[in-house]
Chain A
Amino acid sequence: MSDKALLVLEGGTAFAGRPFGAAGRAHGEVVFSTAMTGYQEMLTDPSYAGQVLVLTYPLAGNYGINRRDVESRRIQVSALVVREACDVPSHWAADMTLHEYLASEGIPGLHGVDTRAITRKLRSFGVMMGTITADESPEEALARLRSLPSYGSIDFVRAVSTDKPYEWPDKSGAGKLALSGAEGPEKKAEEARYHVAVVDGGVKYNILRLLRERGCRVTALPCTVSAEDVLALEPDGVVFSPGPGDPALLDYMVGTVEGLVGKVPVLGICLGHQLLGRAFGAKTFKLKFGHRGANHPVKDLLSGRVHITAQNHGYAVDPEGLCGGVEVSHVHLNDGTCEGLYHPSLPLLSIQYHSEASPGPLDNVYVFDRFLELVEATKGSA
């Protein structure tokens, strides 16, 4: 492996560093996250599919990679760019190094780069396509980059969703890799209180873990599932998961939402929130550089309270077109964008941020409780 590699941005800038992880090229939309911990969770977050993740915080790999902290069945980012990739991690739970993890899953990494400089660039010019390369000149890489389909034109959801339904914890599908994430300290589900169906547009395991912990039987479903098929399972509630890419491409999922709203309590998280917004007439739009990190303040308009949230999204709901009685329940304190929806009479709610954390603050797991209250209330009245 050559000891030099580049990150070339669509805008023409090249950042030189050293390769690690798997050898080779990789491209995607270049995004940054300012979170200081949780690189493993970020790497395995399906919402990063199709993206080159730049960590602004300069250190990754310091506590290694362990079998518990994965959020999906594989690394989802196309490439990882860091200032320093620590080769000698220190943690009792560490099973391998970051380099070994990336290498084992065929994902290229680039280290030794001024990731703050990249962040400032993306902050000023917006996210853009980019590629990691070790065997091309910047010009060649740029030319190749410009011939590739743009991030916004690809439906990544189909790629990251599960092929077939499964129950969590999954002993067959999700557990097939050494790093399963299905183990861990969840409480044993006693008699399941509710049955919750999760439409997997790129679900993070922690959503499944938290539902399970709350006494739910959890069934994950492919993103292409129809409303009828969902209802056939007779779930007490349905969760639309987070996921990657432009929600404007996902009419088929919007249709599923439309078919379920009013029939069963619905919780939309991140992409799920955007789908819910679309189902109620709103359009979505692309943010300049997205919200990615663990420190985003969101105000709950109903209670006046501010919560610190974990976020990972590049698109937002424009509340302008909302209809059908749905209202904005949360806004982002920094830029005022819509961060949540609720309906005064229908059992549904949605949030743009990641209530499941992992990585990030656990302040918002209450959202699951609130959803289960809706489930309980609906069940009681049925």
Chain B
Amino acid sequence: MADKPSKVLIIGSGPIVIGQAAEFDYSGSQACRALREEGVHTVLVNSNPATIMTDEGIADTVYVEPLTVEVIARIVERERPDGLLPTLGGQTGLNLAVGLADAGVLQQYGLRSLGTPIETIRKAEDRELFKQLLDDIGEPRPESETVTGIEDARRVARELGLPLVVRPAYTLGGTGGGVAHTFDELEHIVRGGLTASPIGQVLLERCLLGWKEIEYEVMRDAADNCITVCNMENIDPMGVHTGDSIVVAPSQTLSDKEYQMLRSASLKIIRALGIEGGCNIQFALAPRKEIAEWSLSPDGRPPYYVIEVNPRVSRSSALASKATGYPIARVAAKIAVGKRLDEIPNRVTGKTTAAFEPALDYVVVKIPRWPFDKFPLGERRTGTQMKATGEVMATDRTFEAALQKAVRSLEVGGRSLLWEDAAWRDVDPREYVSEPTDQRLWAVMAALRRGATPSELAKLSAIDPWFLEKMAGLVQMEQRLLSEPLTPELLRQAKRLGFPDEAIATLGDRLPEQVRQLRLEAGVRPAYKMVDTCAAEFEAETPYFYSTYEEENEATPLAGQKALVIGSGPIRIGQGIEFDYCSVHAAWALQEAGVKAIMANSNPETVSTDFDTSDRLYFEPLDEEAARDLLENEGAYENGVEPPSIVQFGGQTAINLAGPLARANLPILGSSAEAIDVAEDRARFEELLERLGLPQPPGAAVHTVEEALQTAGLIGYPVLVRPSYVLGGRAMEIVQNPRDLVRYVSEAVATSGGATGKPILIDKYLEGIEAEADAICDPEDVLIPGLMQHIERAGVHSGDSMAVYPAIGLTQSEVNTIVDYTQRLGLALNVRGLMNVQFVIMRPDGRSSDRDGGPSTVYVLEVNPRASRTVPFISKVTGVPMVRLAINVMLGKSLRELGYEGGLRPRQSLIAVKAPVFSMSKLTGVDTYLGPEMKSTGEVMGVDYTFESALAKALQAADLALPSRGSVLLSLADRTKAEALPVIRHLGKAGYRLFATEGTAAMIQAVGFGVEEVPKRLDQGHPNVVDVIREGLVDVVINTPEGGQAATLRDGFHIRRAAAEKRIPCFTSIDTARAAVEAMAGGERHFTVQPLRDYLI
């Protein structure tokens, strides 16, 4: 065995995108800490600031820089590590490691790949090499062939027959893959797959649709000791990406013989690959006798195929870690520096070692969290391309209860399993069962309610009848709850099957609160049991808990002062990893202050649900019922005094619990439910601003089309309209004229049930400069660590805007006004802890330049009395530990006692740009234009000493950088043409080849540049605008939509989708495009690469 390395470089996974979410922050943080315990100096690089792993104190040296081979090579040159750990940063980490090897960097600097040799990465990732390996060790694989072109693909299809699965090499989340049933589909998918694959290679594979999909998590050390951590069964059979499948652990329909057969195969494979660390292996298992009985003939092949191997920690390994309590990333990191499994202690039991296999005595269900509540027009069908942004996990002693808890954890509009789509009223829901979609689970329930049998649905869906029988059992209980009196025995049975109080109330025609009282009177309370890795065989030191309706409660209340941190649930658009970052820091700050931290969360991908982040973890749905139950459990033996809850850090999920907790007389730490309500209730907030004399965009709440037209006429177009309630995903819209307003409002009114329904909000749309402030407030002072200015003008959701710290484009008087308003708001709202305020600045000359041309007006757009998504960003670039300060303020300390004063902190000399990252290539049918509804899944940060360099880094990290030469396609809305002139001149002068649609081309010619005109309409001959994108003739697209949801938006839609699928930058805001063009001209080649802390003064 090689010597233990002294300095190890760890590559993070970059921004959150579909297929690569918070799980890599979890695994990276765990690995950094594990290596530090071993005395290894850790150097971490990641472009994502909203991560725990990039905090000081997790790794020894932290770089927040773009994840490119060039940048990492510079870090290697500077740091001279002797080990590289490539297996913790997801597919990004693996690809970069291979890139570094190919570029000769590893060899040049004597950098050793730890854990998994580069050769192994290639073997597992390269389809042909992997096939060869499986053949060599006699493990069965589906017949397949790798192709690099369409003609080849057709030939293979003729040989193997359709349908075929298309899998591009070296992509994450199955990007660009699919199942082809026809030759046309084959051509389409292969084309996409070849583009998606960085090496232009796709695999065509025998289709195993309907086979069981089973995964194993395997560990191996350098002494060749191997264990499996657990197995998992996908409820959605083969054909649906495992990231989009409902998954259960351990497997529920496998006999011991099958379990062990696949386990043995897993060990054989990890040994053959020579992995030292963890890996995930996916199998397809024959579901039926006629297939499975192959195995009965002595020479027959076994009834399974090996589908895929991930030679690294993965989303599945994060799930497996949380499902079992076995910290895979931690163990993998220790193995990578030479430890044997039996030398690594099991931290959960404190007695045993990592050389064992966890025994579960519960059932875990994972459900993906899809973004279709945000994108109702997106293609909802799930397949080999993953679409979920995050996931939830729930644990219970029965499958039924775990399933229902997982559904509660999803937080999709309070949806329980009782939910049915309106469309199913008139159609047989059986129709929705055969096709996998994000709604299939509910469609199955609906079909069962209408009399479909499990075996019938099993035929339609290929879901194992076992799961369907269980769901049928739930429908039977629904019927009992509908028809029978709610006796204590019936309540207990329903709770044991996981029915939430709210569902019992709906079925039993009561209020949820009445059901709660009934069951408390009957003594029907949850018990809390441990996830302890060993099924109770040993006492556990650091277990975590799940609720279940069983006899013995193992969670006796924690002694001493304690507080509950309510986490943020699944990663979704609008509520990302930032809130997990905040929740984790909240727990740590509580502990530092001598208060025991209790964490509640439902997301297995996170650091917050790591077993040693808090003093006690409850893995629970984040709803009122679960929160009250666990708070009562913690209060049980202290004269009934429940610990206070902290709702500021878990995003909207946690803040939404403020009201219900307050109504239940449960204490809240920090800003009161009352303060939260004033900020969130439009009327009360308006009143407050009026009282304080702070300007806000004029607007009103309306109920009818007439009122809407009247209001808009009064305040003037354009206006921003949005429903004041959740309505089938109807988004916020910027409306330019009365015609569009009538369309929007009449549709909304129709759906909401006429004038008596909930109102529609209309505000003047101010297309000014957007800025925001994060602040920490105590009763005396309001501390503003820093201000951010958005690159895009107002109208683009703040989460989708690029933002720069400090607000370098604002005048001193504008800054002063913002600081003044923020302080007044903080004090008036009586905020204790964090607050975020968003502003729009209108200058008298209407320009965005910062020359003083008279006083500007600063409008307050909104106030959120909670941690915002920019807290990690601002904390990192200002050095102010915002969450720690907020927690201490909540505990009663003043900012002054903590060493801070009110007002705006002096700015750092660095400049930081935050850029959003989208996952649009994965979401077919979703329009990508920037607007008032958030669409991004993650973010990156570029930090440097000049704006241009910071911007260039941010763009590069977000994959939005312009190539230094190439071609650009422009298709601009009339209203943005004038604004686009500087961009066009810049591009023209820099020698870009320009393509443009009709009107835009005319304008470009008018300013004296050559341009190739392409038809915008797809029916006007070829090559049209989409062809030039698909064929790779253009490197960048600038397309500004006309606005509204009219035909023009649809024209542009094809352009934007083509760009998304081609994975080239597509700018839909002239502001972003201008920034990108400027950055290309500026400091890209000059940027600094240094540890984050070196940028701070």
Contacts and interface: CB of A to CB of B under 8 A. Distances in A.
Name B's interface SS: loop
B59 to A, nearest CB: 30
Contacts of A83: 397-398
A11 to B, nearest CB: 15
A306 B225 CA distance: 6
A116 B361 contact: yes
B535 A59 contact: no
Contacts of B469: 88, 90
A84 B224 CA distance: 38
Contact of A37 (B259, B264, B340): B259
B534 interface: yes
Given A34-B537, A93-B289, A62 B398 contact: no
Contacts of B464: 90
B534 A34 contact: yes
Nearest to A291: B537
Interface in B701-727: none
B941 interface: no
Given A63-B254, A117-B550, A57 B358 contact: no
Contacts of A114: 550-552
Contacts of B359: 34-36, 56-57, 293-295
A370 interface: no
Interface residues of A, number: 56
Given A58-B398, A59-B252, A360 B260 contact: yes
A207 B587 CA distance: 53
B353 A36 contact: no
B137 interface: no
Interface in A29-47: 34-38, 40-41
Interface in A287-340: 289, 293-297, 299, 304-306, 308, 333-334
Contact of B267 (A185, A294, A357, A363): A363
A106 interface: no
Nearest to B465: A90
Interface string A72-110: 000000000001101011111100000000000000000
B295 A361 contact: no
A124 to B, nearest CB: 9
Contacts of A84: 397-398
B424 interface: no
Given A62-B252, A91-B255, A308-B227, A334 B538 contact: yes
Contacts of A90: 253, 464-466, 469
A324 to B, nearest CB: 30
Interface string B515-544: 000000000000001000011111100000
Contact of A62 (B227, B466, B535): B466
Interface of A is mostly: loop
A216 B753 CA distance: 80
B854 interface: no
Interface string B287-309: 11100100111100000000000
Given A59-B363, A93-B289, A305-B225, A120 B552 contact: yes
B360 interface: yes
B279 to A, nearest CB: 17
Nearest to A57: B361
A241 interface: no
Nearest to A94: B255
A15 B358 CA distance: 26
B397 to A, nearest CB: 4
Contacts of A58: 361-363, 397-398
B357 A295 contact: yes
A263 interface: no
B355 interface: yes
B639 to A, nearest CB: 27
A84 B539 CA distance: 24
A367 to B, nearest CB: 15
A144 interface: no
A293 B256 CA distance: 12
Given A92-B289, A299-B342, A116 B295 contact: no
Contacts of A284: none
A80 to B, nearest CB: 16
Given A56-B536, A57-B360, A59-B363, A297 B256 contact: no
A57 B554 CA distance: 17
Q: Which of A40, A41, A305 has most B Cβ within 10 Å?
A: A305
A346 interface: no
B1026 to A, nearest CB: 47
Given A36-B360, A58-B361, A308-B357, A69 B255 contact: yes
Contacts of B260: 357, 359-362
Contacts of A57: 359-361, 535
Interface string B233-262: 000000000000000001111111101100
Contacts of B398: 58-59, 83-84
A34 B253 contact: no
A297 B550 contact: no
Nearest to B293: A92
A334 B535 contact: no
Interface in A262-306: 289, 293-297, 299, 304-306
A91 B251 CA distance: 13
Interface in A347-361: 357-361
A299 to B, nearest CB: 6
B550 A37 contact: no
Interface in B297-344: 297-298, 340-342
Contacts of A123: 536-539
A130 to B, nearest CB: 16
Contacts of A119: 361, 535-537
B137 to A, nearest CB: 16
A29 B352 CA distance: 26
A34 B535 contact: yes
Nearest to B287: A92
A308 B296 CA distance: 27
A41 B258 CA distance: 13
A176 interface: no
B223 interface: yes
A297 B538 CA distance: 14
Interface string B341-374: 1100000000111011111111100000000000
B127 interface: no
Contacts of B536: 34, 56, 116, 119-120, 123
A306 B341 contact: yes
Interface string B455-473: 0000000001110010000
Contacts of A357: 260
A188 to B, nearest CB: 7
Contacts of A193: none
Interface string A45-67: 00000000000111100110010
A304 B550 CA distance: 42
Contacts of A363: 226, 264, 267
22 contacts: A35-B359, A36-B259, A38-B259, A56-B359, A59-B252, A90-B253, A91-B255, A92-B288, A93-B255, A93-B289, A117-B550, A119-B361, A120-B554, A185-B295, A293-B535, A299-B355, A306-B355, A308-B227, A333-B353, A361-B260, A361-B357, A363-B267
- Give me the 9 closest cross-chain CB pairs, A-B, nearest first: A38-B256, A90-B466, A117-B552, A34-B535, A92-B289, A295-B357, A34-B359, A37-B256, A359-B256
Given A56-B537, A123-B538, 9 more contacts: A34-B535, A57-B361, A57-B535, A59-B398, A66-B255, A83-B397, A295-B359, A358-B257, A361-B357
Interface of B: 223-227, 250-257, 259-260, 263-264, 267, 287-289, 292, 295-298, 340-342, 351-353, 355-363, 397-399, 464-466, 469, 529, 534-539, 550-552, 554
